[in-house]
Amino acid sequence: MMFDQTLRKFDVEAGARQLYPMMLEPPAIRWAFIRKVYSILALQLLATVAVAATVVFVHPIARFFVGTVAGFALYIVILITPLITLCPLYIYHQRHPWNFLLLGLFTVAISFAVGLTCAFTKGKVILEAAILTAVVVVSLTLYTFWAARRGHDFNFLGPFLCGSLLVLIVFALIQVFFPLGRLSVMIYGGLASIVFCGFIVYDTDELIKRYSYDQYIWAAVSLYLDVINLFFSLLTLFRAADG
């Protein structure tokens, strides 16, 4: 009887492939966690596409934000809402249903920002940025899973990515107060794209190896921000190149 139980346990665990060497937990549990995170991420991206498309194609929405004082004030509120929401989201990311309510507010606010940016951008530029973002995200995700199974670890990227992000923030502030021209905007977009490609690899590696099972909300938020920031960076680059 004990042999039968052991055999059944082996058969269940054998159905899921090991993600990385020296894995301590059963692979099936980690795969279930990864599927949950990517399901949440997919819903976030679908919501972003839906909200952004509504803002782009329903022209009175964009005109309200640009042509009225109330719309401009609301636009500022939308821009700072994700920053304000991040703190309580980090605190309550393990408490249901507050984690999903805050995640929804966070996603909708960013989706409006994406839509308002795209509303004043050429369709060709948006399509180029969206296609390249999708290709890069899928490619880097598959590469990271492949590398993790072969024992590669990308945790060392953390300090470099944090330093690079700080440089990008200072660069953007300089651009706001002292515009350096179209070439500098293209350089910023290119550098930002490379940095957020690194973040995709880093956060995917964290998802595979280090996030605990109750951190699915925060893991989804990290990957969502990587994808959105990569899209914004490519949009900046292509828009500046398009003139």
140-197: per-residue pLDDT in tens?
999 999 999 888 889 999 999 999 999 999 988 888 788 778 888 898 999 999 999 9
pLDDT of residue 28: 85
Contact between 102 and 86 under an 8 Å Cβ cutoff? The reply is no
Provide the whole-model pTM.
0.89
- 63 or 17, which is more confident: 63
Q: Please check whether residue 155 is in contact with residue 189, taking contact to mean a CB–CB distance below 8 angstroms.
A: no
> Positive or negative, the Cα torsion across 205, 210, 216, 217?
negative
- The predicted pLDDT at position 164 comes to 92
**Residue 208 · residue 20 · CB < 8 Å:** yes
Q: Which two tokens stand for residue 111?
A: 């989706």
pLDDT over threshold 70, residue 13: no
Nearest to 220 by CA among 112, 118, 81, 110: 110
Q: Is the pLDDT of residue 71 over 90?
A: no
In this prediction, residues 38-49 reach a mean pLDDT of 96
Average pLDDT for residues 19-39, to the nearest whole number?
86
Residue 98's contacts (CB-CB under 8 Å, 6 or more residues apart) are 88, 92
